[in-house]
Amino acid sequence: MPETKSFIHARLTAFGDTRELERIRQFVQEKAREFGFSEQGAHTIMLAVDEACSNLICHSYHFDKAREFFIDIRPQGTEALVIEIFDNGAAFDPFSIPPPNLQEYALQHRKGGFGVHIIRTIMDTVEYFPATHTHQMNCLKLVKKLS
């Protein structure tokens, strides 16, 4: 097992602009590596977060560069990394999306709809908490175990 280096909590503020994806990936990859994930492990976590943020920027924020969202990363003990993405867009339940059917998608010339499947395949736990009166932002919570 690789040696882990703990950190308490890290937050990145990002905006509704696809240019932000590069910065988001760098942030997630750096923190995942710092926590102890291999290069491959950090790459897959980075991909899952990229997919979540791409969906948010394109389909919820509609490329509105003035709207911000937050990516929080924290360790869960020494065994798992927790990534929470907080946004104030319309609530969207990722579990409402069925697994993609490639043959059908090709016939429909459909280029989207893969991100949620990637996230659910890569991460150990995926939970979605829509905004409430007490929690004013939606939260997508992703957990990846180190082993």
Binding residues for another protein, rule: CB under 8 A, are: 18-19, 21-22, 25, 40, 43-44, 47, 50-51, 54, 57-58, 100, 102-103, 105-107, 109-112, 114-115, 117-118, 121-122
Q: How far is the CB of 63 from another protein (least distance, A)?
A: 10
Q: How far apart are CA 11 and CA 27, in angstroms?
A: 9
Q: How far is the CB of 18 from another protein (least distance, A)?
A: 4
What tokens appear for 8 in the block?
A: 């308490």
- Closer by beta carbon to another protein, 50 or else 84: 50
Q: Quick one: DSSP state of residue 130?
A: -
Q: How far is the CB of 7 from another protein (least distance, A)?
A: 24
- Closer by beta carbon to another protein, 29 or else 75: 29
- H-helix or E-strand spanning residue 82: strand 80-87
Q: How far is the CB of 132 from another protein (least distance, A)?
A: 29
**Phi and psi of 40, rounded to 5°?**
-65, -45
Q: Which residues contact 137 (CB under 8 A, 6 or more apart)?
A: 70, 86, 87, 88, 131
